[in-house]
Amino acid sequence: GAGVSQTPSNKVTEKGKYVELRCDPISGHTALYWYRQSLGQGPEFLIYFQGTGAADDSGLPNDRFFAVRPEGSVSTLKIQRTERGDSAVYLCASSFAKNTEAFFGQGTRLTVV
Amino acid sequence: GDSVTQMEGPVTLSEEAFLTINCTYTATGYPSLFWYVQYPGEGLQLLLKATKADDKGSNKGFEATYRKETTSFHLEKGSVQVSDSAVYFCALSTGGATNKLIFGTGTLLAVQP
């Protein structure tokens, strides 16, 4: 596609449920990032993939959060036992290589009720 | 740790007014500095960047100069337009193994006709 695509654009889930958020990066981009943006804050880094491997997951807040990128393209961010504090906009970005410009998707707005 | 502090908004200006949005940073080493913009309903877009001290980034009439002595990267535009209304984020990257971005909290700019 022309840009980074994230689905769904909005997700409402009940506390305690499991959710998956999907990111389709720009074709050919090897680097992929997930960020979380809480209301009134800037995006905060969660995890970085280079190819299929998670090269840096230091931003994941706890072990309820996990992300995969099995074929080096599409990535899925998985959140178990969701809590109301997980409500935020989850942003995905991709770049051709690690030190090149990152392009952001429009995000998935997650609301935990 | 590394951080970015930017001017709180909202900033409300009349069309053709001069814009300054202040940004200062704290970082070890020599970060690259960025301004991202988020227009209503759209994803984050890179507006401009500077990779070393005294570099000036510019795009769409916006400018910012990397000032190492004051650890600042203030965004300026000589004459704003209604179409510049958006949220502006200052960010840094220290490169390294991840090249992740560290963002400020964002500044909402509203330009009135």
Strand, coil or helix: B27: coil
* CA distances to A30, A61, B77, B102, B105 from A37, in Å: 23, 13, 27, 12, 10
**Are B95 and A101 inside 8 Å of each other by CB?**
no
The beta-strand segments (E) located in A19-112 are: 19-24, 31-37, 44-50, 53-56, 65-68, 75-79, 88-95, 103-104, 108-112
* Residue type present at position B85: S
CA angle at residue B109 from B30 to B93, to 5 degrees? 15
Q: Which of A7, A34, A45 to mutate to test the interface with B (most CBs of B within 10 A)?
A: A45
Q: Which of A9, A23, A26, A56 to mutate to test the interface with B (most CBs of B within 10 A)?
A: A56
Strand, coil or helix: B38: strand
From B89's Cα to the closest Cα of chain A, the distance in A is: 7
- Kindly indicate the confidence band of residue A82, based on its pLDDT and cuts at 50, 70 and 90: very high
Average pLDDT, chain A: 95
**Are B103 and A105 inside 8 Å of each other by CB?**
no
From A102's Cα to the closest Cα of chain B, the distance in A is: 8
- Kindly indicate the confidence band of residue A14, based on its pLDDT and cuts at 50, 70 and 90: very high
Q: Which of A23, A32, A37, A47 to mutate to test the interface with B (most CBs of B within 10 A)?
A: A37
**Are B46 and A31 inside 8 Å of each other by CB?**
no
- Residue B98 has its nearest CB partner, among A4, A35, A56, at A56
Asked if A1 reaches chain B (Cβ–Cβ under 8 Å), the answer is: no
Mean pLDDT of A83-104: 92
| Confidence (pLDDT) at B74 | 98
Residues in chain B: 113
- Kindly indicate the confidence band of residue B94, based on its pLDDT and cuts at 50, 70 and 90: confident
* Residue type present at position A59: G
pLDDT tens digit string along B34-87? 999 999 888 899 999 999 999 999 999 999 999 999 999 999 999 999 999 999
| Confidence (pLDDT) at A15 | 98
From A81's Cα to the closest Cα of chain B, the distance in A is: 27
Q: Is the pLDDT of residue A1 over 60?
A: no
**Are B97 and A55 inside 8 Å of each other by CB?**
yes
- Kindly indicate the confidence band of residue A68, based on its pLDDT and cuts at 50, 70 and 90: very high
Please answer whether residues A43 and A36 qualify as being in contact, where contact means their C-beta atoms are separated by less than 8 angstroms.
yes
* Residue type present at position B44: L
Asked if B1 reaches chain A (Cβ–Cβ under 8 Å), the answer is: no
